[in-house]
């Protein structure tokens, strides 16, 4: 087996939601380094990312998309404008709201579930339809969380949405594996991004979290690079419905 060829994404086009920053940005760069052209579905402009991807010899299309109130199927069709096809979808865009459950508002429930779960299903469905129109086969990678496995504190809608992402990953994998479409997820541990800025700024929470991570450090966005390239590549052709933790050992504790 030629390992480099098995992991190569040469000739593939990957759509990554929320790749202007954080984990999405690192995953977009990793996919480009492995050979894929990239389409971003971004609410905010992905400043400098086009240049970074060009340095890998790949193309980048930055589509403006606010996924808060649904993800229209046309987005995937627009994404296909870059190269004429879509082969990989990374459902990364996501938000969190931290409030005690007694004070949780309907907005904090709806905003999180609409983006983290509803848009994930809608984009996945549009991508799978696109894959079928191209002759079948494709890769969908969802971004789950430690809170796909655990309850968390003061994050009811986030935990519900990310636990839903794990279930949806399995449900779609069961239906689409026979079509040659791999649906899997990555569950990042505690990573240093905007999403966790509030936690890291709270000295007590920061120490408590750090003290529980066997690797002894917060994750970095680049820690997801290998996992996303693997799941997007031919190396993962027989991997279906799996949620891969990249968590510095958090779940092993
Ligand atoms: P982040 O830096 O806050 O990035 C979130 C991304 O989602 C940004 O690109 C953001 O765009 C985008 N987004 C937010 N609302 C959107 C909307 N309405 N429409 C389109 N895009 C929207 O946090 P991150 O840590 O990289 O998060 C990426 C994913 O990883 C999320 O699904 C998150 O739940 C998940 N995750 C993170 C951690 C962690 O420890 N950091 C752990 C587990 C899972 P803007 O910049 O325009 O807001």
Q: How far is the CA of 93 from the centre of ligand 1 (A)?
A: 5
Q: Which pLDDT score, from 0 to 100, does residue 65 have? A: 96
Task: Using a pLDDT cut of 70, give the percent of the chain over it.
Answer: 100
161 lines ligand 1 (CB under 6 A): no
Q: How far is the CA of 180 from the centre of ligand 1 (A)?
A: 28
Taking the CA of residue 221 as reference, the ligand 1 atom at the shortest distance is 26
Tens digits of per-residue pLDDT, 39-63?
999 999 999 999 999 999 999 999 9
pTM: 0.98
* Domain enclosing residue 103, as ranges: 3-246
142 lines ligand 1 (CB under 6 A): no
Both tokens assigned to 149: 């496995």
143 lines ligand 1 (CB under 6 A): yes
Q: How many CB atoms lie within 10 A of CB 194?
A: 11
Both tokens assigned to 16: 């990554």
Domain assignment present for 172: yes
Say whether pLDDT at 72 is over 90: no
Among 68, 90, 66, 116, which residue's Cα sits nearest to residue 16? 90
- Count of domains forming the chain: 1
The residues assigned a catalytic role are 158
pLDDT, averaged across the chain: 97
Identify the CATH number of the domain in which residue 176 sits. 3.40.50.720
Domain assignment present for 251: no
Q: How far is the CA of 164 from the centre of ligand 1 (A)?
A: 17
Tens digits of per-residue pLDDT, 85-112?
999 999 999 999 999 999 999 999 999 9
148 lines ligand 1 (CB under 6 A): no
Q: Which pLDDT score, from 0 to 100, does residue 69 have? A: 85
Domain assignment present for 167: yes
For residue 70, name the pLDDT band (cuts at 50, 70, 90): confident
For ligand 1, atom 23: residue with the closest CA: 195
- CA angle (157 as vertex; 153, 158 as ends), nearest 5: 70
Tens digits of per-residue pLDDT, 192-211?
999 999 999 999 999 999 99
Give me the half-sphere count of Cα atoms (radius 13 Å) on the Cβ side of residue 130: 27
CA dihedral 157, 170, 214, 160 (to 10 degrees): 10
174 lines ligand 1 (CB under 6 A): no
For ligand 1, atom 42: residue with the closest CA: 188
Q: Once rounded to an integer, what is the mean pLDDT over residues 222-240?
A: 98
Tens digits of per-residue pLDDT, 108-137?
999 999 999 999 999 999 999 999 999 999
Q: How far is the CA of 17 from the centre of ligand 1 (A)?
A: 9
Domain assignment present for 21: yes
One DSSP character per residue, 174-213 reads HHHGGGTEEEEEEEE-SBSSGGGHHHHHSHHHHHHHHHH-
Domain assignment present for 72: yes
Domain assignment present for 252: no
Among 129, 128, 143, 130, which residue's Cα sits nearest to residue 173? 128
Domain assignment present for 191: yes
């Amino acid at each position: 087996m030629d390992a480099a060829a098995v992991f190569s994404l040469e000739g593939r086009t990957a759509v990554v939601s929320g790749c202007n920053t954080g984990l999405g940005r690192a995953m977009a760069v990793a996919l480009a380094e492995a050979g894929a052209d990239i389409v971003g579905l971004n609410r905010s402009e992905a400043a400098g990312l086009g240049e970074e991807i060009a340095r890998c010899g790949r193309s980048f299309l930055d589509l403006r998309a606010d996924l808060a109130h649904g993800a229209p199927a046309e987005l995937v069709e627009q994404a296909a404008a870059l190269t004429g096809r879509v082969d990989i979808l990374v459902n990364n865009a996501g938000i969190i709201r931290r409030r005690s459950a007694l004070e949780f508002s309907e907005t904090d429930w709806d905003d999180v579930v609409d983006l983290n779960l509803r848009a994930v299903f809608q984009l996945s469905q549009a991508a799978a339809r696109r894959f079928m129109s191209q002759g079948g086969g494709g890769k969908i990678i969802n971004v789950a969380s430690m809170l796909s496995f655990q309850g968390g504190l003061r994050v009811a809608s986030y935990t519900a949405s990310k636990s839903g992402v794990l279930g949806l990953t399995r449900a779609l994998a069961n239906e689409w594996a026979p079509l040659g479409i791999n649906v899997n997820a990555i569950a990042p541990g505690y990573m240093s991004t905007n999403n966790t800025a509030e936690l890291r700024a709270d000295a007590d929470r920061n120490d408590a979290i750090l003290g529980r991570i066997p690797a002894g450090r917060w994750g970095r966005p680049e820690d997801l690079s290998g996992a996303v390239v693997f799941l997007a590549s031919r190396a993962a052709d027989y991997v279906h419905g799996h949620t891969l933790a990249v968590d510095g050992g958090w779940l092993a504790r």
